[in-house]
Structure 1
Amino acid sequence: MINIMLVDDHTVLRDGIRSILEIEEDLLLVGEADSGDGLLKQLDTIAPDVIVLDINLPNKNGIELISIIKARYPACKILILTMFDHDEYFKSALREGADGYLLKDASSMEVIDAIRKIYQGNSIIHPKMASKLISYHRIHNDFATQNNELTNREKEVLNQLVRGKSNKEIAAQLSISDKTVKIHVNKIYKKLNVNSRSQAIIYAVQNKLVPYLN
């Protein structure tokens, strides 16, 4: 069972997501909050596996909350669900450790699928935001190129991570086992000095470590 907390100041949206979660046997809504302070007051007693978090909140915004949550509860997964497609919000969320970033035009099944995938350790990025990452990679030249001694295979795996692929999807794409993918991902984290897929993605794009994007 995946325990979920929903944080959004729009009651209608919370009602909608709650109704979706209620019909999924492996998902359980264990808490709701309509503000940053409301979220933090409940975390110690609720201990959710996944937090579905808006950015625009009273008291503290979602970006601030990501940093606080990850510092206190590093195992907790965070899915940003927001109307904001601004580059800076997106990149800031990833830098702080968000595990996924969806826009509110995502379908209900996309939200459900994202919750399951980030719980399993994958990173989910809305297609529109993934396109922004690729565009950012193409037009910005103010970061020095660094290879951090990544092997060619590790670069291929990293390229697939940037595209939002799961370990299973990467394994199928590269004709290797899931276990081998996991080993490569762990080595990539160590070499890039990051702790999550989202951090690896933003680092890779900013430092132009994924030359095969097109």
Structure 2
Amino acid sequence: IIKRVLNGKKFYDSELLQYTIHNEKTNNEIDLTNREKCVLNYVCKGLSNKDIANELKVTDYTIKKHVSNILSKLHLRSRQDIILYAQDNHIIDEII
């Protein structure tokens, strides 16, 4: 293994690869609350925080917190990223 690495070759531990693959599969599962999934649905439809708040009969601040939690949990930066993430992971089809 050492000679291989010293010669510029790569080495991958099979146990580490298995662990990484397993965690990647479980990390792709969405860990959002039902309310966050509902808000994500509205975000994907293009509604503003105010419009979503009116639909759900809550304050704008509450929606802002939900959107912030979604961004944090999915490691995203913007509402546009939420929409692209939802499309790429076929979440929109499941929620809408």
Fold in common (TM above 0.5): yes
After TM superposition, the score normalised by the length of structure 2 is 0.66
Please, what is the CA RMSD of the aligned residues?
A: 1.5
Residue from 150, 159, 180 that aligns with 2:62? 180
- 1:147 touches 1:209 (CA, 8 Å); kept in 2? no
Cα drift, residue 204 of structure 1: 1.1
- Map of 1:47 onto structure 2: none
Letter in 1 for 2:43: L
Q: For this pair of structures, how many residues does the alignment match?
A: 69
Q: After superposition, where does 1:53-202 map in structure 2 within 5 Å?
A: 146-202=28-84
Structure 1 unaligned regions, length at least 5: 1-143
Higher percent of residues as strand: 1
1:208 is displaced (CA, Å) by: 2.2
Shift of 1:200: 0.9
Aligned equivalents of 1:174, 1:153: Cα separation in 2:
9
* TM-score calculated relative to the size of structure 1: 0.31
**Structure 1 residue 174 displacement after superposition:** 1.2
**Bigger share in helix:** 2
- Is 1:203 the equivalent of 2:85? yes
Q: 1:173 to 1:147 in 2, by over 3 A?
A: farther
- Quick check: which has more Rg, 1 or 2? 2
Deviation at 1:155, TM superposition (A): 0.4
Q: Is the 8 A contact 2:37 2:95 kept in 1?
A: no
Q: For residues 131-188 of structure 1, what are the alpha-carbon distances to aligned partners after superposition, in whole Å with 9 as ceiling and x for unaligned?
A: xxxxxxxxxxxxx8x4420111000000000000000000011111111000000000
Residues 159, 147 of structure 1: CA spacing in aligned structure 2 closer, same or farther, 3 A cutoff? farther
- Aligned identity (percent) is 43
Per the TM alignment, residue 190 of structure 1 is displaced from its structure 2 partner at its CA by 0.5
Distance 1:154 1:147 in 2: 14
Work out the CA distance in 2 between the residues paired with 1:209 and 1:147. Answer: 10
